[in-house]
Amino acid sequence: MKKVLILGVNGFIGHHLSKRILETTDWEVYGMDMASDRIQDLVANDRMHFFEGDITINTEWVEYHVKKCDVILPLVAIATPSTYVKEPLKVFELDFEANLPIVRSAARYRKHLIFPSTSEVYGMSRDAEFDPE
C-alpha cells in the first residue's frame, strides 16, 4: 500500500486529490494544513491521517513523514491573487523558500516528489484568451 504525503491538504488541489486517492486506490494519505474545513468528510476515512500544523513550524513532523511516505506533494502556497501583487516577498518566502527543505528531504530519502505549478507562472496576461503556446 502506497503512502502519500500532501502538504496543503485542505487547499483546493489538496482536498480534491485526497478525495480521489481515497475513492480510487488503497493508498494512505498523510496530510498537513493549518485548517481542515474542506476535508472534514475525508478525516473519517481510516486511510486519511490529518495533522493540523504549519510546514514552517512543524518541521520534524514533515521530515518524519517525508521519510515515511512514498510520494510527496508540497502543495502549500498562498492562494490569494491580491497577495501576489501586494506582498510578493511573502509569496516567495512561502511558495519557494518554505518548500525547499521539503524538496531537499525528498531527494535525500530518494522519494518521489510531485511539485505543482499554477497559472501564476504565466504572469499577468493582457490577451483576451490564454494561449499556452
- Domain-located, residue 133: no
Average pLDDT over residues 56-70: 98
Average pLDDT over residues 45-68: 98
Model's pTM, two decimal places? 0.86
Yes or no: say if 42 and 15 are a contact pair by the CB < 8 Å rule. Answer: yes
- Domain-located, residue 29: yes
CATH assignment at residue 11 = 3.40.50.720
- Domain-located, residue 107: yes
Phi, psi of 115 (to 5 degrees): -100, 115
- Domain-located, residue 95: yes
- Domain-located, residue 125: no
- Domain-located, residue 71: yes
What's the domain range around 55? 3-114
- Render pLDDT for 76-93 as a digit per residue (tens, 0 to 9): 988 887 888 899 888 889
- Domain-located, residue 34: yes
